[in-house]
Structure 1
C-alpha cells in the first residue's frame, strides 16, 4: 500500500475513533451507568472473551455495581444485575422497560411479527389474543393436564423401546412437548415416527394452520393487528418456545439426576410413597411431594436456561435510579444473576434441592426463582411449561431408574453451548424398568 493509501486509512480510523469518543462522552454526560472503558469500534468485546462471558459480566458487576454499561462493538448495552435491579426495572418501572429488542435472527424470521418480537399496541393485542386462545383450548384447566399426562405415557412407551441399550434421549424428549402443543392447537397428537410430525418438528412455521373465519373478519378491521402473517409468527413462537425450552429442561434434568444418584433415590422414594405404580402422576400430587417439587425447581434454577432473557430497549430516555438510559439503548436483565444470587441460594453453583426446602422439609417458595422472567413480558407459557416439566420428569422417574454409562462423578454437566440459551451436553443413558 502506498503512502497515500496509508494516509487515507489513518484518517478514516481517526474519524471513527473521534466519532466513537464523542458518542461515548455524550452518553456519560447523560449520566449513564458506569462501566469499563470501551475501545473504538470493538467496545468491550476483547475484554469479554468468547468462552465465559457470564464470568466477565459478574466481575464487572462486582466492580461497578448492579447497573452498569458495556459496549458490544459500538452498541451500548445496559446490564441489570441481581434481583433488586431486575425487579425494580421489570416490575416497579415495568411500563418503561416493556419494549423488547428481539435478536436480529428472530427479526429476520418473524419480520417483526409474533408475540416475541412485537411491541406497543400490537404486542398487547397479540398477547391478549394468545392468552385467550390458550385458555379456550384448555390452558389452566383439567383438560390440559390430561393432555400432558397422556403424552407422558406415550413418552414412557417410546423410552421403553430401546430396552437396556444406551441411547441419546434428545429426539424422543423433544417430541413430547411438541405433541402437547399439537394437541392444544390442532386437537391431535402424532406418533413419534409419523412423517408429518417429523416434518413439523423440522419446519414448524410452514405447517402452522390456525386460520378461521373470525380472524378473516379481523382482516377487514383497519385497527386490528391480526393478519395471516401475524398468526403464523405467533404460532411459530408458541411451537418454538413451547417445545425446545421444555425439552432442554427435561433433558438437563435427567442428566443432573444421573449425576446425583442420591437425589434420584429420594425422588424415587417420594414418588413410590405418594403416587405408587398403579396410576399416573398428577399436578395434585405436587403439594404432597415437596422434595420432587424442590428438585424440579432446582433443575430450572441450576440450568439457568435463558441467562439474559430476551433483550429490552429504551423507546425513550429512561430515568432509572440515579442514571439516564438514552433512547435506543439495549437493556439486558440478567436472570442468571438472580438465579445465582447468594442472598437466596448460599451455594449458587451447586445443584442442591435444599434451596427450595425449609428446615421441616416443606417446599419453600422464593422470589428469586425467575427462569420465566418477571413483569409484563413474563413468559405466557409459564403455566404449561411448569406442568410439563413436573409431569414428564415424575412419570419418567416413576417408571425408570436412570443409569449413566460412566461413573456419575465423571459426568460432565457443563453446558455444551452458553449464549441466549444454555444447552446441555450430549449424553447417552440406560433406563432400567422399575
Structure 2
C-alpha cells in the first residue's frame, strides 16, 4: 500500500512539474497565445487585484473555473492553452506498454493483425504529429482546440494520460493542478525569453518521462508592483 501510494505521488509530481515547465516554455516562445489567456483571466480576476494585499482564495479559483463562454468547467482560452501544451510536448513520448489480450485486426492497414500477447506502445509523439488530426502539428496553436463559438471542441482529443484500462488514475487531479498553476502564473506574470539565451523548443532529455533541458525565461509582474504581488503570493493558501 505504501509503495503504491508513493508511486502515485512520485509519478504525479514529476509529470505535473514537466507540464508546468512546458507551460512556461510555450508562454515565453508564443507571446500572442499567452496574451489571449491573460485577456480571459483579467475578465474575472482584475489586474487591480494585484495592487492590494487581498489573498487569492480557493473560492476565487472556483470562479476562474466558471469564466463565461465556456461549456466546460474551465475557461476556454486557458484550457485550450493547457491542452495544446500537453499535445505539443507530450510528457511521455512513447506512452506506457499495453499487452493485447486477443488477436486485434488493425483496420487502418489492410492485412495487419496485432497478435494476442503482443506488447504495444501507443506512441504519443507520433499521435501528436498526425497531420490528419492536428494540422501543422509542429506549430503551437491553442486555437485548434476551439470551435467557431470559442468553446472547447468535443471532437478533438489527445491521449495525454494514456488510454484503456491502464489510463492514468490521477488524470483529473493533474489537469486541475496544471490549470491552477498556469492560471496563477499567467495572471501574475508576463513570461518572455531571455534575449541573450533563446529557448531551444526541442531541447528535451529523453526518457520514460521527458524533461526540458534547462532554459532561461524572464518573469515580469503584470501589475508593476512587485512587492504587492509578493504579498499576495506569500499568503496564497491561507484559508484553503
Bin for the TM-score computed over the shorter chain: 0.7 to 0.9
Q: Higher relative contact order by CA 8 Å / sep ≥ 6: 1 or 2?
A: 2
The 5 A counterparts of 1:162-177 are none
Segments of structure 1 that go 5 or more residues without pairing to the other structure are 1-230
Answering whether residue 132 of structure 2 is matched by residue 361 of structure 1, we say no
1:281 is paired with a residue whose SS is helix
Q: Where do 1:34-433 residues align within 5 Å?
A: 231-277=1-47, 278=49, 279=56, 280-282=60-62, 284-285=65-66, 287=70, 289-314=75-100, 318-321=102-105, 322-323=112-113, 325-327=115-117, 329-406=118-195, 410-433=198-221
Question: How far apart are residue 326 of structure 1 and its match?
Answer: 5.0
TM-score by length of 2: 0.75
Computing the radius of gyration from Cα coordinates, the structure with the larger value is 1
Distance 2:157 2:149 in 1: 21
* 1:314-354 CA distance string (max 9 Å, x none): 5x6x3110525253x32212222322222221111111001
Contact 2:42–2:187, Cα closer than 8 Å, also in 1: yes
Q: Per-residue deviation at 1:402?
A: 1.2
CA distance in 1, matches of 2:196, 2:115: 50
RMSD after superposition: 2.2
Assess, with a 3 A threshold, how the Cα gap between structure 1 residues 293 and 407 changes in structure 2: closer, same or farther: farther
Distance 1:309 1:330 in 2: 12
In the aligned structure 2, how far is the partner of 1:242 from the partner of 1:376?
Answer: 18
Cα deviations across residues 127-151 of structure 1 (Å, max 9, x unaligned)? xxxxxxxxxxxxxxxxxxxxxxxxx
Aligned residues: 200
Whole-angstrom distance in 2 between the partners of 1:427 and 1:348: 23
Q: Distance in 2 between matches of 1:307 and 1:391?
A: 24
Q: Which has the higher helix share?
A: 1
For residues 11-50 of structure 1, the aligned pairs below 5 Å read none
Q: 1:425, CA displacement in angstroms?
A: 2.1
Partner of 1:15: none
Q: Give the equivalent residue in structure 2 for 1:199.
A: none
